[in-house]
Amino acid sequence: MIEKLDRRQKYTRKVLKESFIKRMQEKPLSAITIKEVCESADINRSTFYSHYKDIYDLAFQIEDNIIEDISATLSAYNYSKNEEALQMTEKLLEYIAENRDSCQTLFSEHGDPRFQKKVMMLAHTHLLKTLEVENTNVPYNSEYLSLYIANGSIHVVQHWLKSGMKESPKEIAELITKLAKRGLSSFSDTPPMFSI
């Protein structure tokens, strides 16, 4: 009986989440009502309230699940191994591709900027660890470099999602990794590739 209830609860949360994401593709979070989410999901309001306090609680839980998944993926890699940077980036992009509707919507103009900032800061924290391990010659501004790379990477992913994900996760991972390494190479003794 408990297993059936768990399955039913998972199903209810799944259809509410899908309904919410569809609404969010059309309008901002502040304009979405519980009534329309419930109608689209074919769930009554009392069932909604047995799972979530309000529409913001639903949004935050979806965002928190994505943040937890991204954090777990980032934590699974060894920052002292250079070849793992590409694997980690590819794995993250595969996760984004598998959760395309949610990620595309949450990273769009209708998405919560606080969620986008949380993802950026998570990426920034993990990039700093990589920079500290791999590049002892990078000066005090490795924090700025990390912010630059994290912001740029997130914008690349946003564009990839918005333009229909024509490239594979591996291709985008290779692009992001190459761009990040070019940023790092500007701190070496080699002349820059581009002049401004």
**DSSP result, 95-154:** HHHHTHHHHHHHTSTTS-HHHHHHHHHHHHHHHHHHHHHH-TTS-TTHHHHHHHHHHHHH
Task: Give me the DSSP letters along 45-61.
Answer: HHHHHHH-SSHHHHHHH
More confident residue, 109 or 98: 98
Q: What is the CATH number of domain 62-185?
A: 1.10.357
Rounded average pLDDT over 36-55: 96
What pLDDT does 111 receive? 84
Q: Which stretch, 36-50, 72-86, 93-107, has highest mean pLDDT?
A: 36-50
**pLDDT score for 169:** 93
The answer to whether 116 touches 107, Cβ cutoff 8 Å, is yes
H or E element in which residue 165 lies:
none
Whether the per-residue pLDDT at 187 is higher than 70: the answer is no
Mean pLDDT of 130-135: 59
- pLDDT above 90 (res 129): no
Residue 82: pLDDT over 80: no
* 147/69 Cα distance (integer angstroms): 21
Q: What angle do CA 103, 118, 67 make, to 5 degrees?
A: 55
- Ranges of each domain in the chain: 1-52, 62-185
Gap between the Cα atoms of 104 and 110, Å rounded: 10
User: Considering only CA atoms, which of 106, 136, 139, 101 is closest in space to residue 120?
Assistant: 106
Q: What does the pLDDT read at residue 52? A: 96
Task: Judge whether residue 180 has pLDDT over 90.
Answer: no
Both structure tokens of 180: 């990040």
Q: What global pTM score does this model have?
A: 0.76
Q: Which fold has domain 1-52?
A: Arc Repressor Mutant, subunit A (1.10.10)
